[in-house]
Amino acid sequence: MSLRVSIVGASGYVGGELLRLLLDHPHVSIIQATSARNAGRYLYQVHPNLRGRTNLQFVHPDTLQPCDVLFLALPHGEAAQAIERYASLAERIIDCSADFRLRDPAVYQQWYGSAHPAPAWLERFVYGLPEVNRAALTGARYASGVGCNATATNLALLPLVEANLIDRSRPIIADVKVGSSEGGATVNEASHHPERSGAVRSFAPVGHRHLAEVEQVTGLRNVHLSITAIELVRGALATVHAFASRELSEKELWQAYRTFAREQPFIRIVKERQGIYRYPEPKILAGTNYADIGFAYEPATGRIVSICAIDNLMKGAAGSAVQCMNLMCGFAETTALTFAGLHP
């Protein structure tokens, strides 16, 4: 017997990715996919990769009906605004936006500039990164999504944090390179192809909101985040520069990464001595739910460069969301998430 699942915001990029994954999920059936602008159109007219996969049509979000699991993939603020309505329609909710990621309403207010519209709901949502919250997600009713840049940064930092290898008195710099799909499906001047193509755009040298998530997840207070948009559609690479708290050997670092990756079906350590793919590389992760992590260490200075690559729409959004659903509903964690990625 299948769970009945609906997706609000299904015409967007995260919504589209949810559709792709859930259409192949053996234990769920998509019953509604909403888009105000595309109501009545076939899903494949917006997401051409779904042609031949489904004859479902978009419905207007106002016509949303009760279902077992509801995915929200809406612009910032929309989910929090309407959470009571959504909760009245579905037993379980996974919200891909930033609305329910932060535990502390004060932190929300600091970063988003206004009070949270539904602060009581913050504690009901489990932060949706299975790599750190697997137990809490198992059987949970409400899960938030994750920030893509935050996730790349967090997964680069966590092996070091958990092994307590970072000198917290020195700054940690997370320099993240990202693709254009991070901005979503809505067109704007900055995303016009002749301008965006070939760009190396210092999109957020300071002040990026995902830092709040990094601080919440890692417990660190000296992380500094910068985002550069590069020529890429899917993918994010976090290059995180930290300093070792003591003299280290490469083996100790390997040990820390192995400990973190153990039992994590979507974490792979990438650190090769030869070949072209020596460190995590987002280009081979497009469409997969992997987070590849690796590191370089400079004994003379104590600098550790920890590197994490993800597909922002997968491990950084829809993939993690489906992984959450699997945990929440008692399905095998990797169900519908096994695409291996392409080379070349």
Ligand X SMILES: NC(=O)c1ccc[n+]([C@@H]2O[C@H](COP(=O)([O-])OP(=O)(O)OC[C@H]3O[C@@H](n4cnc5c(N)ncnc54)[C@H](OP(=O)(O)O)[C@@H]3O)[C@@H](O)[C@H]2O)c1
Residues annotated in a binding site for NADP(+): 11-14, 312
Task: Lay out the sheet containing 28-33: strands in order across.
Answer: 28-33, 3-8, 67-72, 90-95, 142-144
Q: Which partner from the list other proteins, ligand X, a second copy, none does 23 bind, CB cut-off 5 to 8 Å by kind?
A: a second copy
**DSSP conformation letters of 294-335:** EEEEETTTTEEEEEEEE-TTIIIIIHHHHHHHHHHHT--TTT
Contact partners, residue 193, CB within 8 Å, separation at least 6: none
For a second copy, the binding residue among 206, 219, 258, 334 (CB under 8 A) is: 206
* Contact between residue 227 and residue 149 where contact means Cβ atoms under 8 Å apart: yes
Q: The dihedral of CA 326, 330, 336, 338: what is its sign?
A: positive
Distance of CA 77 to the CA centre of its chain: 17
For other proteins, the binding residue among 35, 180, 306, 323 (CB under 8 A) is: 180
Task: Report the residue number, 123 or 250, with the smaller CB distance to other proteins.
Answer: 250
63 scored as a contact of other proteins (CB under 8 A): no
96 annotated active-site: no
Q: Which partner from the list ligand X, other proteins, a second copy, none does 145 bind, CB cut-off 5 to 8 Å by kind?
A: ligand X
Cβ of residue 93: shortest distance to other proteins, in angstroms? 26
Cβ of residue 24: shortest distance to a second copy, in angstroms? 7
Q: Both tokens of residue 259?
A: 């400990």
Segment contacting other proteins by CB under 8 A, of 13-21, 27-35, 37-45, 335-343: 37-45
Site string for ligand X, 299-328 (x = CB under 6 A): -------------xx--xx-----------
* Contact between residue 23 and residue 50 where contact means Cβ atoms under 8 Å apart: yes
Pairing of strands 201-204, 223-229: antiparallel
Interaction site with other proteins (CB under 8 A): 40-42, 45, 55, 57, 178, 180, 182-183, 186, 188-191, 203-204, 227, 229, 250-251, 254-255, 258, 269, 271-275
Which residue numbers are catalytic? 148
